[in-house]
Structure 1
Amino acid sequence: MNTPFTSTSTPVDPNRPSKLGIVPSSRSTLQLRRPTKKEVSTEDPPRTDEVDAEFDEDDEEIEHEQDIDTYGIAGRTWEAAYLMKRYCKPPYASISKLIFEPPCPLFVQPPSTEDSSCPPPSHRTKQRKRTVVEIGSGTGYLSLHLLPFLKESDRLVVTDLPEVCPLLRTNLGISATTEQGEERRSDGKGKGSRVQTTFGDVKVRPLPWGDQEAFEKLEKEFGLFSSADDDSNTGSGPDLILASDLIYFPFLYPGLLRTLIWLTQPRKKGFRKDATDTSRKEQDAPQVVLGYKIRSLPREEPFWKAFGIWFDFRPVYYRPVPTSAQDPNTTFPSPAADEDHWHRFGETSEGQNQLFIFVCTRRPKTYTWDVPKEDEALMNGLGSDDQFETLLLLGMEC
Structure 2
Amino acid sequence: MLTATRAPQLKTVLIASGMVLTLAMGVRHGFGFWLQPISQAHGWTRETYSLAMALQNLLWGVFGPFAGMAADRYGTARVVIVGALFYVAGLLWMALVNQAGLFVVGSGILIGAALACTAFGAVSGIIGRTAPESRRSWAFGISSAASSLGQFMMMPVEQQLISAAGWQQALYVLAALVGLVMLPMAFNLRELPAEKAGGPQQSILEATREAFAYRPFLLLVAGYFVCGFQLVFIGVHMPSYLRDKGIMEPNVAVMALALIGLFNIFGSYYAGKLGGFLPKRYLLSSIYLARTLVIALFLLAPLSPWSVYLFSAAMGLLWLSTVPLTNGVIAGIFGVKYLSMLSGFVFFSHQVGSFIGVWLGGYVFTRQGSYDTVWGITLALGIFAALINLPINEKAIVRAQPAAA
Larger RCO, structure (CA 8 Å, separation 6 or more): 2
Same fold (TM over 0.5): no
Q: Give 1 or 2: higher strand fraction.
A: 1
Alignment TM-score, normalising by the size of structure 1: 0.26
Alignment TM-score, normalising by the size of structure 2: 0.26
